[in-house]
Amino acid sequence: MTVVPFRRVQTPTRAPRPTRFTKIEPPPALTADAGASVRSLPDPAEDRQRMRENLAALAVVVVLLLFGAWLIERLSAYSRTLACIEFGHRSCLKLDVGQLPPR
């Protein structure tokens, strides 16, 4: 007695294999007249739009790279400062001497 009934999955029927004398037609994309439906000259408006999109994507990538580099540098500085404090040193923070007011 089975608790969970298992049903057989029916496989789709296969297409008959071509015989030795069956002519096989190439797909329409490989025929000589396939290029007739494609325009030979691109539209200038589409080119401008594509160029704008490419420049926008490039700007996003550059911003992400710069932000990532800045974030890694800040995390590294924070880690060094935290390690300095954990070791008990007193002067762990870097001071920017150029920004101090004159006496």
Token pair 């009934």 is at which residue? Answer: 5
Listed by start position, the domains of the chain span: 46-89
Q: What is the pLDDT of residues 24-33, one digit of tens each?
A: 777 777 766 6
> Whole-model pTM?
0.49
Q: What is the pLDDT of residues 27-82, one digit of tens each?
A: 777 766 655 555 566 788 899 999 999 999 999 999 999 999 999 999 999 999 99
Say if CB 91 and CB 80 are below 8 A apart: no
Give the pLDDT confidence score for residue 76 in this predicted structure: 93
The angle formed by the CA atoms of residues 73, 79 and 83, to the nearest 5 degrees, is 150
